[in-house]
Amino acid sequence: MAEKSSHRADLQANFGHVPVLRDRVTELLAPAVEEMGDQAVIIDGTLGAGGHSEFFLKSFPQAYVIGLDRDINALTAARERLAPFGDRFVGLHTRFDQFLPLMQEEAEKGNTACRIGIEVGITGALFDLGVSSMQLDQVDRGFAYRVDAPLDMRMNDTEGITAADILNTYSHGDIARILKTYGDERFAGKIASAIVREREKQPFSTSARLVELLYANIPAATRRTGGHPAKRTFQALRVEVNRELEAIENVIPLITDLLVPGGRAVFMSYQSLEDKIVKKFFTELTTSKTPAGLPMDLPEYAAKFELITRGAEKANEKEIEENPRSAPVRVRAIQAKKGAR
């Protein structure tokens, strides 16, 4: 009973959302953060409701946290929530691979967290990838396929193309490619043909019409066994709208370059495309480039990073029971080697 009460308290404290693998992520970052003391700066690259950031600020009372979010509504709410921590928290409105110029500007203005991050380096970083729980639960944003809503899907709803723009303007080939590549949709070509045919009658604007089209074009046998027929298409559109994979490819070399010796970066992926990118970059960063045939590693070619997770860690049964959104998560973490830079 006590565990259930604690879980309810967590839900209330986190605006209805328990941060995925909060304790494990904090444990992964702890050695570096504790060693740096009052010079520790943590980047929360996917701030959302601020649950992870709040736990970091409480767990590491000397550390600073810089939270990044492209969604101004989420950022505003998180800033309000984390205001009691004063200058130990700063929130920046940016896509997570574009934060460095903003951080430099804030450092020049005298912001302590950003100044330390620029002058000393980043101690720890978390990137909880994909769409946030807050956005999924805001039905008017168009991320959820179980309710009728405008086909928007932008994490930053002030700029860029919408999902409706893609459906109404992309060529048949581009729509099929997106559905196949980003959603692993078996019927991508058939669905793309139906979309092009239907948009000639009337442009797409809300999700219900798209879901109806998907039901009509995905065979009944697949619908019975493959989960909700709209899941893959909606994922693919969201990834394209927000250029999510591009952002991941950009941010890994950026954040690893900013880590202090011993600094750590944690990435949490929820679909295979994300995890494959993280795994590929981590493999490259932790592999020696010493030419084959030499008897020892040459210092200039030695790997400057090491893995601190064995493969991809997953949520355990207890975590999944308490927080079902953790079920697909894959966690990988990397550390900058001391004396290797």
Instruction: Kindly write down the DSSP assignment for every residue of 228-287, as one continuous string.
Output: -TTHHHHHHHHHHHHTHHHHHHHHHHHHHHHEEEEEEEEEEESSHHHHHHHHHHHHHHTS
The angle at the Cα of 57, spanning 279 to 263, to the nearest 5 degrees, equals 40
pLDDT at 34: 97
pLDDT at 26: 97
pLDDT at 133: 58
pLDDT at 266: 98
Name the CATH superfamily, with its identifier, for domain 2-133+244-336: Vaccinia Virus protein VP39 (3.40.50.150)
| Residue 293 counted as an annotated binding residue | no
| Residue 86 counted as an annotated binding residue | no
Q: Which residue has the tokens 């493969």?
A: 311
pLDDT at 183: 92
| Residue 128 counted as an annotated binding residue | yes
pLDDT at 3: 44
Right CATH number for 138-242 from 3.50.50.60, 3.30.200.20, 3.40.50.410, 1.10.150.170? 1.10.150.170
pLDDT at 139: 61
pLDDT at 99: 97
pLDDT in tens, 33-68: 999 999 999 999 999 999 999 999 999 999 999 999
CB 123 within 8 A of CB 258: no
pLDDT at 10: 45
Candidates 205, 207, 206, 174; CA nearest to 192 is 174
* Every domain of the chain and the residues it spans: 2-133+244-336, 138-242
Same fold for the pair 2-133+244-336 and 138-242? no
pLDDT at 119: 97
CB 49 within 8 A of CB 133: yes
| Residue 121 counted as an annotated binding residue | no
Give pLDDT < 70 ranges for the chain: 1-17, 131-142, 226, 293, 340-341
| Residue 52 counted as an annotated binding residue | yes
pLDDT at 85: 97
